[in-house]
Amino acid sequence: MSTGGESVKEFLSSVLPVPGNSRVEDERFQRPLVTLTFAQSLDGKIAGKGGKQLILSGRESMLMTHWMRTKHDAILVGIGTALNDDPQLNSRHIPEHERPSHLPRPVILDASLRLRSDCKLLRNYQEGKGRRPWVICDANLNPDYAGRKSTLENAGARVIGVKRTSLGFIVIPDLLKALYTYGVKTLMVEGGAAVIGSFLAESARAKPSTIIDTLIITIAPTLVGDEGVGYGKGLSTEQTHSLKHIRTKIMGQDVVIVGAL
């Protein structure tokens, strides 16, 4: 599918950084190239009341997201999204004859191992339709959760322990270092609200190094209202000034804005 003469693939090649970037490959910053991407309404919401999943992206931008998935080694979501949306994180919207064989690895941030063993990500893996999900939990896992760990492992998940902050969240720089060590060179972060907020806040804190390389936000021509789910909690106003605009593109009825942090 092309948008204004430029194919979605051409657009993505023009905005996504390529592995081999010397700054990131620098020993001090060894981590994957990170793309943070999500769809929001005009009033900045990513989900409806009570977290109800909304299909905000139109056909064209949804297809772009699925192509983007094929260009990353792994896709990360938080456990809130995994439980609420039961996503598949694959590229099924790309017509089969065009679909690259590469399937990104699903990664779930799940400190206390709340992931359901019958979720679609694990079922797809069991049926040979998806990569083995990696579940990132607290490195100091509460011994009471040992049963959850073996249930998930028996269902096919690889459980990886990473340090938690005092607030209970997985430490993002440590997470990125661990993923890099396990071979993830490009990571697409898809949400949800808490994960987007954490990556944005951490990226602001981490200056002069960065955490996010590319931010790709789809803005849909719709309003969700006050009770919808927003993002950016924990991000102070001082932390929001350094977004460098890269491109803006109309995709169907949506606007896609690309920036760098």
Q: Which is nearer to ligand NAP, 25 or 145 (CB)?
A: 145
Residues at the interface with ligand NAP (CB under 6 A): 38-39, 46-47, 51, 53, 56, 77-81, 84-85, 109-112, 114, 168-170, 172, 190-195, 198, 229
Nearest-approach distance from CB 128 to ligand NAP, in angstroms: 25
Q: How far is the CB of 171 from ligand NAP (least distance, A)?
A: 7
Q: In terms of CB distance, is 38 or 125 closer to ligand NAP? A: 38
Name which of 49 and 129 has its Cβ closer to ligand NAP.
Answer: 49
Nearer to ligand NAP, 114 or 123 (CB): 114
Report in angstroms how near the CB of residue 34 gets to ligand NAP at its nearest: 13
Cβ atoms of 57 and 219 within 8 Å: the answer is no
Residue closer to ligand NAP by CB (options 20, 168) is 168
CB of 23 or CB of 163, closer to ligand NAP:
163
The tokens for 228 are 């919808």
Q: State the minimum distance, in angstroms, from the CB of residue 50 to ligand NAP.
A: 8
**In whole angstroms, how close is the CB of 68 to ligand NAP at the nearest point?**
12
Q: How far is the CB of 243 from ligand NAP (least distance, A)?
A: 18
